[in-house]
Structure 1
Amino acid sequence: MSGKGAPELTVENSGGLRVAVIAAQWHTQVMDGLVDGAVRALRELGIEEPTLLRVPGSFELPVAAKVLAGRGYDAVVALGVIIRGGTPHFEYVSQGVTAGLTQVSVDTGVPVGFGVLTCDTEQQALDRAGLPGSAEDKGHEAVTAAVATAAVLRSAAEPRR
């Protein structure tokens, strides 16, 4: 299972952070689990009023993340699922989404939580969606990572000039 070796993150200094969650609409059951895990993590971190937006699919996540990062959010979390099929479509979409979200984070300095599942089967996605019986909760993990990074960046002192 891919979750082996994951760190136990302790998030401090997250009060007052503005966080947006963007979720794709494909694969409703998986996405509902990812969104529920993300919202639960935000509540646990004391972030009561996150922005939640839905976009058509995973390919639309980077542009939405870029716009929200430019609107003053401290962290953006992207949730989606891409399931391998019989064509190269999986590789193109997975690579585009991954590169796009990475570029948003690096270009804007806003942490982007990567909650995009890239799975061979629907069962693998269900196992990672945070649903009852799932082995992992990637929506929760993506929020925790993004908020932890935003909190660390906020606490870093500005260099003296």
Structure 2
Amino acid sequence: MSGTGTPQIQQDELDALRRTVEQQRLKVAVVASRWHQEVMNGLIAGSQRFFEQVGVRDVTLLRAPGSFELPVIVSHAAARFDVVVALGVVIRGGTPHFEYVCTAATQGLSQVTLSSGTPVGFGLLTCDDEAQALDRAGLQGSKEDKGFEAAHAALAAAVEIAALNR
């Protein structure tokens, strides 16, 4: 697991994010897969922690049956929300299913964000085993908090887009 190079959020960036949230009254959705509940609960909680930290009070949680279905639900959410965070986890098994789901979900989410122009935070964990997923889930004892990071990435992108459109 890397974690190396994860950007630290500086106070001035948090302040800018809070100002944007206050000024824009951004509508936010989190789309989360239902597979691997313990990991998903951690990812969802991490995204909620971030949004609370910057003053987003109203976050709509939508659930996808699995990670493969994330892109279609995110696509519909991107038409109705200013910021969307996609959260899921795929754990490698003994068949090529892992590669197919990871590739389809990643390409689908990329396509949605580019075609809609809506920032989509990428919180899809693609792990070799459950231990790796738990280590990234933002749970007590986890080394990383990918739900928090995906929420930050999506909102930071929204701030940059707003600055470009002024």
Query: Which residue of the partner structure matches residue 14 of structure 1?
Result: 21
Query: Which residue of the partner structure matches residue 76 of structure 2?
Result: 67
Query: Which residue of the partner structure matches residue 67 of structure 2?
Result: 58
Query: Which residue of the partner structure matches residue 155 of structure 1?
Result: 163
Moved over 6 A (4+): none
Give CA deviations for 1:5-52 in whole Å, capped at 9, x if unaligned: 122232422331111000000001000000000111111111011111
Query: Which residue of the partner structure matches residue 134 of structure 1?
Result: 142
TM-score (norm 2): 0.91
Give me the identity figure in percent. Answer: 55
TM-score (norm 1): 0.94
The structure carrying a bigger helix percent of its residues is 2
Query: Which residue of the partner structure matches residue 103 of structure 1?
Result: 111
RMSD between aligned residues: 1.0
Q: Secondary structure at the match of 1:36?
A: helix
Q: Is the 8 A contact 1:131 1:137 kept in 2?
A: yes
Q: What letter matches 1:2 in structure 2?
A: S
Q: What letter matches 2:7 in structure 1?
A: P
Moved more, 121-130 or 45-54: 45-54
Query: Which residue of the partner structure matches residue 81 of structure 1?
Result: 89
**Size of the alignment, in residue pairs?**
157
1:41 aligns with 2:50: yes
Counting only pairs closer than 5 Å after superposition, residues 112-123 of structure 1 correspond to structure 2 as: 112-123=120-131
Shift of 1:150: 0.5
Q: Is the 8 A contact 1:126 1:134 kept in 2?
A: yes
Aligned equivalents of 1:99 and 1:152: distance in 2? 23
Q: Secondary structure at the match of 2:21?
A: coil
- Give structure 1 stretches of 5+ with no counterpart: none
Q: Secondary structure at the match of 1:92?
A: helix
Q: Is the 8 A contact 1:14 1:148 kept in 2?
A: no
